[in-house]
Copies of this chain bind each other. A is one copy, B any other.
């Protein structure tokens, strides 16, 4: 059938074509079916949408990007044919019935995700099937390899490539800003790609962006790493494992992160960047993604197994995650705390012990030191890590003369004080994040929260518990209101013991 092009001024991820009710019927098409649009030598497969008023019979509504792809103008006549679903939909049906997929089937699904050949319902069905049935290690390995191969990859010519990744869930986790310079200053290459916050108060990429540009290409990541030893870039600016971003778009509205998808997502990024030694940080505890240490160990075991299959040497650090890491939560506040730690060589225990522990593990794995944590502490205390971090900042287009005092944080602040004598019984991760986001984080870089007291610390009535920072008055107000209602820091009159104690792997 030939139809006349009408421009629809909405851009969509997947190509869609809007037909009149009559033409859709004539072609036997329903919403969810696919058609091939052909103009001259160009063609594209699009989803069928059915108009309810704005498309006349004989017309077809397509967006500017589809028109550009077909090289057709508004009013041009394009040929339209129904086409069948791609075979990957059949494979998704197979997984929906609980069957194990074959290597080629998984590759076909991942390739179609990357090519936008699957619609939202089909993609949801794939992710939900993985959530319901899980995948075995074969399937996870194939999915990881497919995710790597459908995106950009880095091949370093020389050097020992290490990397770290946190599965997230704990606020204030600015440890990469310490680990990357420590490790790079020790002679290793660490081309760290990081994410931005989705539901958290600040992703590592948001925090680093306070100090330098994080939108780097894969070539820039490689070049800077080879020149100064390390980089902290936003993974989203690259085309590394692009299937992952599309899968996350479906996971987010359902608040799920299937085990198989988590493993594949992390390891695909590490594999694509060419890492040889990897530490995975698995925070466990209340308010994180992993409720208890047993679950943490299961996950750790799977990461190690998957790593071995992919030729990556993986160690997992199961870390204490029941309260924020360090004191600061929010992009600029965290960048400031990280810089201050590098400047002074010391920091709150939750931050410094965790950072040195993970950096040390990488140093041990790569054969740099027998007592990696001690080695890392010396690199930090000697000022070499600070010097390296400034080199990295400069290489990423930031100001190498930056100091913790020069980092701009929100100028609207509000302090909360303890109403009683007692001790801090809880710092609620989820409430801390909500308050920081209400204050404007991660969008407003200077917004966030600084904790003055943490779990187990004694407080007297009137002691300062935490401070909210914001860039805008109305956001400060909404954060204060939320903090009043939900108390991120809870003080009890008596605590029986300090539990759990801080513990690292």
Whether A121 pairs with B120 at a CB distance below 8 angstroms is yes
Write out the residue numbers on chain B whose beta carbons fall within 8 Å of the beta carbon of A249: 31-32
Write out the residue numbers on chain B whose beta carbons fall within 8 Å of the beta carbon of A250: 121
- A9 close to chain B: CB less than 8 A: yes
Write out the residue numbers on chain B whose beta carbons fall within 8 Å of the beta carbon of A51: 11
A215 to B102, CA, bound (A): 48
Partner of A32, one of B8, B61, B252, B443: B252
Write out the residue numbers on chain B whose beta carbons fall within 8 Å of the beta carbon of A93: 254-255
Q: What per-residue 1/0 map shows which CB atoms of A77-97 lie under 8 Å from chain B?
A: 000000000000000010010
Could you tell me which residues of chain A, from 32 to 63, have a CB within 8 Å of some CB in chain B? Answer: 32, 51-54, 61
A253 to B122, CA, bound (A): 7
- A414 close to chain B: CB less than 8 A: no
Whether A54 pairs with B124 at a CB distance below 8 angstroms is no
Partner of A131, one of B8, B96, B198: B96
Q: How far is the CB of A309 from chain B (nearest CB, A)?
A: 28
Whether A120 pairs with B122 at a CB distance below 8 angstroms is no
Write out the residue numbers on chain B whose beta carbons fall within 8 Å of the beta carbon of A11: 51-54
- What is the interface size of chain A, counting residues whose CB is below 8 A from a CB of the partner? 38
Q: What per-residue 1/0 map shows which CB atoms of A118-139 lie under 8 Å from chain B?
A: 0111101100110110000000
Partner of A121, one of B31, B52, B131, B253: B253
- A367 close to chain B: CB less than 8 A: no
- A405 close to chain B: CB less than 8 A: no
Q: A30-B198, A121-B254, A128-B129 are in contact. List 4 more A-B contacts (CB 8 A).
A: A96-B128, A96-B254, A121-B124, A121-B250
Some 29 contacts from A to B, beta carbons below 8 A apart, are A8-B9, A8-B10, A9-B54, A10-B10, A10-B18, A11-B51, A11-B52, A11-B53, A11-B54, A28-B437, A30-B252, A31-B252, A32-B249, A32-B252, A32-B253, A93-B254, A93-B255, A96-B256, A119-B253, A120-B120, A120-B124, A121-B124, A122-B253, A122-B254, A124-B124, A124-B125, A125-B254, A129-B132, A132-B132
